[in-house]
Structure 1
Amino acid sequence: MSETTPYGAAHRLLDLVTPFLGASPPVRVRAWDGSTAGPSDAPLLDVRSRRALRHLLWSPGELGLARAYIAGDLDVPGGADALADGLRTVWDGVADRPAPTRPGWRTWVGAFPAALRLGAFGPRPRPPAGEIRLDGERHTRRRDADVIAAHYDLSNAFYALFLDPTMAYSSASYRADDVTLEQAQTAKLDLICDKLGLTEGQTLLDVGCGWGSLALHAAEHRGARGVGITLSAQQHAYVTEQAQRRGLADLVEVRRQDYRALDALDRTADGRGFDAVASIEMGEHVGEENYATYLSVLRHHVRPGGRVLVQQMSRRAGSAPGGGPFIETYIAPDMHMRPLPETLAYVERAGFEILDVEAMREDYVRTVADWQAAYEKRFDEAVALVGEEQARMWRLYLVGGGLAFAQGRMGVDQVLVTRSAA
């Protein structure tokens, strides 16, 4: 059933986009003039301003839609759940249709008067807050530090809004249906320690340690001595404070440095390498051109016979390595994900023996759902900390990321390897 409100801007919007999509979008549209159009039982897309059309005109596709949403010119009323339903409906609707033929010049000419009447033409809108703008060549040490600062140094208080008390910013491991996020993250940390075989007195290097969840857990519950490295000033301060507060300062050291700088340091006090090395959801961020170097650093710093665990996101073959325009503009501009088999080939070429591969995609669906639920409960606090636009950007990120894992467009795996004695 379709809405029957008087013909207005909403109807003109659907008339405008339908020839380009090959069919009407599976949403109900409410325009700035109060008119509505589209199926009454479909998710509601609230086009609050003509400026939303200008975002799309200047940045067609995903990025323009994201900018319009973040700026508040486009909305899906009802919070994160409604936004997720809307994105899922649109994605499923597009995925089920054959690809539309490329619009010819007649389509573009025919659209011009409608776009003009709707006010789509005008100056480029100001980009919303939170876009990461970088200079220089990808994956230089300076640029990587700038990327990390832009994403992770918002404030520790902001991340505490939706992360669990361990401050683990990676997929948890849900071993039962009724466990909490904190229990699932603790289970993930125990799982990693078990796979690495960590016992009292052994040494652990955590490359890209985040807020120190693994190093702190291994020290507190296994008696292991850990060194974590991060480029984030906020994370470095947090781990330092936690190690002191929890009486672990003698067991946990955190360094603020690039992983490539590790080659200039003694591997451990005796120079023989760490007993175990972990790198949790950091390998996606080193870049395709540096991935072999990254693996060589991990191998160089583990003793012969020692174990290395990499937990890393993957993507479906044929999809955007960086996650798409929104992720590449607002979250991780230089990220590179690849299908799992390609990563495993890199790992074997680096001189590792693969011991175990565990898929955790379904765990990430639950992890992000728990993050999203916590974030929505404290959304007003997020606005107070980072502003309305940044808060909306994070809502879109959590919802979109959860959907990507749920639909199998992204995955995450734990890869356990050992360094041969050679």
Structure 2
Amino acid sequence: MTSTAPVEAPGAAHRLTALAEDFLGGPLPVRLRAWDGSESGPADAPVVVLRSRRALRRLLWQPGELGLAQAYVTGELDIEGDLAQGLRTVWAAQRERGLRPPRLGPADRTRALAAAARLGVLGPRPAAPAAQARLRGRLHSRSRDRAAISHHYDLSNDFYGLLLDETMAYSCGYWTSEDPGHGPADAQRAKLELICRKLDLRPGSRLLDIGCGWGSLTLHAAEHHGAVVTAVTLAAEQAAYVRERVAERGLAERVTVVCQDYRDIDGGDYDAVSSVEMGEHVGDAEYPAFAAALHRLVRPRGRVLVQQMSRGAGNPGGGPFIEAYIAPDMHMRPLGETVALLERARLEVRHTESLREHYARTIRAWHRTLEDRWASFVRLTGEETARVWRLYLVGGALAFEEGRMGVDQILSVRPGPGGDSAMPLTPHRWYEGLDRP
């Protein structure tokens, strides 16, 4: 008589792999390791670790990018090893093999729920992580914009002091050298100098810096070009920081720091206006009024420089993760649409320059700093917020590297009577010596 041993039920990873491949219509590009220790998938692929059934419960309630992000920032889901390589593999599979979550019919949903029940995944909706933004009020009202800016920029000056270099510039740098000794601070100083040259700043020039951040451009323009600067920010911690730096450097006669909404800026006749990575926060419907304000605030023949991130026409927002955790309500559009909006406001666009590869390199430098100082970030903000920023920086660098996002400097002028622009015939002087410290 032959005895038959009982057949052991497959582990959670095997069940999940079979279910996912069935729904996606192709093999998973990653290897799964489940909470019960089981593993399934290609042996040489990045390993996605499901530490808890709660990770899958989040995906049932919130399918897609946001559910995955919630599971990652809470530590319920992880990627073993190089997070960037894991994300690169998944996005490559989506792009090259067309893996996309299908539209599930009633029968598919029933089957998925039955599988979830067998795995013990069903349950009440998990609470959103504490780091997720919770904004209220009308989109891009003054109070909501103030809350959105506060969520991101008032995280604390200590946090950004850990993350950024000594310039405290939280925007794309301009990398002029491949030398290993050429670091983030060099790239930021080159960017600041390039902006000042494009704006033709000279001693006594009146500059309006809208969305001044921690004052990197304001301080550089006042200190190195003798400009008289009005620096505007909505973030109270930024305003306090810039005022301290102004006092330390003896620039009080040249710099005024104002904590207010750009819509409330009075006056005009500035020689130059800058807006460095602030336009993304304005909103789609509000951008025409923002562009009109730029025209109103600058004098005839004065220059306006907008440095702004962009996305393809099919993905105009910041994306569910960025909008939920990093920059709520942000809106990006293709470069051409922004140029058109500036032109409709009667600004003449004279020069655009893509810095996409520069941003990939800038963000990778920030990510290295985050990892090198991981324990300090966790002590300062808690592990959940540190994991939010790890995901943000890794994903952001890849988005610029792969061309899913861009960033551009757009230089405009408000023409004078008869169309006079006072612009140079060639821009070569802007770039001379930028590779020197």
TM-score, length-normalised on structure 1? 0.94
Which residue, 292, 295, 301 being the options, matches 2:297? 301
Q: Which stretch has the larger CA shift, 93-102 or 60-69?
A: 93-102
Q: Is the 8 A contact 1:171 1:364 kept in 2?
A: yes
Q: Is the 8 A contact 2:317 2:333 kept in 1?
A: no
Q: CA deviation at 1:111?
A: 2.7
Look up the match of 2:80.
77
2:40 is the alignment partner of 1:37: yes
- Tell me, which stretches of 5 or more residues in structure 2 are unaligned? 1-7, 418-437
2:328 is the alignment partner of 1:325: no
Look up the match of 1:122.
123
Q: Is the 8 A contact 2:213 2:238 kept in 1?
A: yes
Rounded Cα–Cα distance in structure 2 between residues aligned with 1:98 and 1:370: 32
Look up the match of 1:233.
236
- Tell me, which stretches of 5 or more residues in structure 1 are unaligned? 268-272
Q: For 1:284-299, what aligned pairs fall within 5 Å after superposition?
A: 284-299=280-295
Equivalent residues, number:
407
Q: Is the 8 A contact 1:55 1:64 kept in 2?
A: yes
Q: CA deviation at 1:90?
A: 0.4
Look up the match of 1:198.
201
Cα deviations by residue, 1:316-339 (Å, 9 ceiling, x for unpaired): 1212x2221111111122111111
Rounded Cα–Cα distance in structure 2 between residues aligned with 1:220 and 1:188: 15
Cα deviations by residue, 1:290-328 (Å, 9 ceiling, x for unpaired): 101111111111111011100000101212x22211111
Q: Is the 8 A contact 1:201 1:223 kept in 2?
A: yes
Look up the match of 1:352.
347
Q: CA deviation at 1:113?
A: 2.6
Q: CA RMSD in A?
A: 1.4
Q: Is the 8 A contact 1:311 1:412 kept in 2?
A: yes
2:43 is the alignment partner of 1:48: no
Q: For 1:381-396, what aligned pairs fall within 5 Å after superposition?
A: 381-396=376-391
Rounded Cα–Cα distance in structure 1 between residues aligned with 2:105 and 2:399: 32
Look up the match of 1:10.
13
Which residue, 37, 57, 60 being the options, matches 1:57? 60
2:371 is the alignment partner of 1:379: no
Q: For 1:199-214, what aligned pairs fall within 5 Å after superposition?
A: 199-214=202-217
Letter in 2 for 1:162: L
Rounded Cα–Cα distance in structure 1 between residues aligned with 2:313 and 2:90: 21
Look up the match of 1:270.
none
Q: CA deviation at 1:99?
A: 5.5
Q: Is the 8 A contact 2:235 2:259 kept in 1?
A: yes
Give the secondary structure class of the aligned counterpart of 1:114. Answer: helix
Percentage of matched positions with identical amino acids: 57
Rounded Cα–Cα distance in structure 1 between residues aligned with 2:348 and 2:66: 41
Q: For 1:21-420, what aligned pairs fall within 5 Å after superposition?
A: 21-78=24-81, 82-98=82-98, 102-178=103-179, 179-262=182-265, 265-267=266-268, 273-319=269-315, 321-420=316-415
Q: Is the 8 A contact 1:6 1:35 kept in 2?
A: no
TM-score, length-normalised on structure 2? 0.91
